A and B are shown apart, each in its own frame.
Chain A
Amino acid sequence: MKTRNNKAWFLVLPVVLSVAFSAVVPLMTVINYSVQDIIGPDQKVFVGLEWFKEVLRDPDLHGAFLRQLIYTLVVLAIEIPLGILIALSLPARGWKASLSLVLIALPLLVPFNVVGTIWQIFGRADIGLGGHLLASLGLNYNYATNPLHAWLTVILMDVWHWTPLVALLCYAGLRAIPEGYYQAAKIDGARAWAVFRFIQLPKLSGVLLIALLLRFMDSFMIYTEPFVLTGGGPGNATTFLSIYLTKLAVGQFDLGPAAAFSLVYFLIIQVVSFVLYTVIQRTTNPAAPRQDTP
């Protein structure tokens, strides 16, 4: 009779415990908060589904959701193709490749709040290089008062910060393509576009979808950079979902509605991430049967 070795369960126990205390217990608390009016530490009133109805019908939240969706789609539409382009143009080997990779990775090492501060200063016409250059070209650029300028700055900031991640992932994917494919393409007389379309792009699909998933989750939850740069303004122009949530929970101390909104936010991230993950699995391994452990 086949015996099972259950020792592996003990190996995953630390992870289970850390996830339980860092994620599951706080999530349960948020669920509890979402159905109560938290007046004080010892004063709570059960309100049922009231906060869910309130936040789901809140026009400010609808506005923040729409802005978040547009922002995420725009940064993904820029960062993914740009990351591929950068990866394709990098040297394949040698010291130039190493140097390029180090330089490209630099923005990823900058803390989020510092990124916001860098761009806040960079965009100012009085003390920032970027703002000063634009002013000298006769452009009345001001991200603090003009919503369009604020959006452009926030998007540019995100592209500067995160395109390197996509580029590095794509670069790793490109380096993993066996040389034989390129040799076969050369024998067939394939042009650069055909090599990209029929060899590199299909081989990159796995890392591209991972990049897409990571960038979706990150950009959909973006908080620090736009908060430091614009504080969600001018008006509500760059108030994305996380900024709106923070205003609700910390600014107004509306913990009940903030908890209800957090759960809605969590569900949206879960659904989209699950769909993307499923697409990743199907794209990278469409024919293979699933491996189920008996």
Chain B
Amino acid sequence: MAWMAWTWPTAVFIALIIGAIAVLTVMDLRSPPVTRKGFLPIETDRGDRFYIAMLGLLAINLTWWGVTDASPLIGLGLSLLWLAVTMRWG
């Protein structure tokens, strides 16, 4: 595995994503996904909302790193807020 050049921060990041997918899979098996219409312009189930939220999360963080030298934790906080809002009301 050395050729993959692992670091702790990236390992945690990837583990979180894999963990989230695993949790969603278990949730889907326990209770079938239900589509609904929130503030997003399309009907979504929880998997769709997670995918859209993740794309937005990455976009927010990348934009933050690209335009400002302020702490990346602020960008991370904003993106986590977006994740929570999308999953709840998206």
Cβ-based interface call for A98 (8 A):
no
B residues less than 8 Å from A271 (CB atoms): 55, 59
A29 touches B42 (CB 8 A): no
B7 touches A56 (CB 8 A): no
Q: Which residue of A has the minimal Cβ distance to B52?
A: A274
Distance, CA A274 to CA B45, complexed state (A): 15
Contact count band on A: 20 to 34
Tally of A-B residue pairs with Cβ under 8 A? 62
B14 touches A31 (CB 8 A): yes
B35 touches A292 (CB 8 A): yes
Among the 9-residue stretches A44-52, A206-214, A221-229, the one with 4 or more Cβ atoms under 8 Å from chain B is A44-52
Q: From the candidates A57, A290, A293, name the one contacting B43 in the complex (CB within 8 A).
A: A290
Mostly, the A contact residues are helix
B residues less than 8 Å from A290 (CB atoms): 35, 43, 45
Contact string, A252-294, partner B, CB cutoff 8 A, digits 1/0? 0000000000001001001100100010011000000110111
Given the interface contacts A31-B13, A35-B10, A274-B55, does A267 sit within 8 Å of B5 by beta carbon? no
A residues less than 8 Å from B10 (CB atoms): 28, 31-32, 35
Q: Which residue of B has the minimal Cβ distance to A33?
A: B5
Distance, CA A46 to CA B10, complexed state (A): 11
Cβ-based interface call for A169 (8 A):
no
A264 touches B62 (CB 8 A): yes
Cβ-based interface call for B81 (8 A):
no
Q: Which residue of A has the minimal Cβ distance to B6?
A: A32
A36 touches B5 (CB 8 A): yes
Which 10 interchain pairs have the tightest Cβ spacing? A56-B66, A32-B5, A294-B32, A29-B4, A32-B10, A52-B65, A290-B35, A31-B10, A53-B65, A267-B58
